[in-house]
Amino acid sequence: MEREDGKMDKVVSMEKRAGLGLRVASELRAYWDGVRRNRLVPARSEIDPRGIERALEFSFVLERVAPGMGRFRLAGMHLNDLMGMEVRGMPLTAFFTSAARKTIADGCEEMFREPAIVEAELVSEPGPGRPELTARLLLLPLRSDLGDITRALGCLVAEGAVCRVPRRFDVRALTVCPIGRDAIRIAEPGDEFALAQGFAEKAAAFEAAPSPEARRALFRIVSGS
């Protein structure tokens, strides 16, 4: 990961194999949980790259610059490889297809607003010179030096052959887990309605539902961690 002073931190290369995304995300989540020590959200200043050395290649720090928009302040080399260029300063949505950007933007905004933990299963369709890729995204909220929740620690891990052609991902499934509450499974494979509507619209319908049965018809509830 490149530091904010422009220098490069040590990056530990990890073999691209099945299950890598889950392992990296689990390690990053465990580190974030340890740093926050039962508080709602830890501070950006508390994040030490040495604590996530094995995940640095896949990790990043976002800054909220507008509703639903997070910009990369720092990013590991794996993200640069996926885009075929330096991604620092780019929005997170640059990694997504036009159809998926609203879903990601809505989930990102919920992460900052609730705050919440966001996880997503992604796929990049094959094309000329581009083999299919699956990927996992994790977003963890952080406080800025001013105390507001406008930063995020995250990782994006693709599994498959990575080429220098920029990759764009679609969302297979996205889970928003408000901290201390149950997770809501927003989108699943084939759930075109959920992907088209995005989180904000479905969350509003969830809050307005007249009964638990009506809510269950809108979402599949999974246990929070």
Q: In whole angstroms, how large is the CA radius of gyration of the chain?
A: 17
Confidence of residue 197 (pLDDT cuts 50, 70, 90): very low
| Contact by Cβ (8 Å): 139, 154 | yes
Q: Tell me the C-alpha distance between 222 and 209, whole Å.
A: 18
Measuring CA to CA, which residue among 65, 4, 20, 33 is closest to residue 155? Answer: 20
Q: Is the pLDDT of residue 183 over 60?
A: no
The phi and psi torsions of 209 (rounded to 5 degrees) equal -60, 135
CATH for 171: 3.30.450.20
Look at the chain and report how many structural domains it folds into.
Answer: 1
In angstroms, the Cα distances linking 8 to 74, 106, 125, 154 are 10, 32, 32, 18
Domain of 64 in residue numbering reads as 20-222
Q: What is the pLDDT of residues 114-155, one digit of tens each?
A: 999 999 999 998 877 778 899 999 999 999 999 999 999 999
In a domain, 52, yes or no: yes
In a domain, 189, yes or no: yes
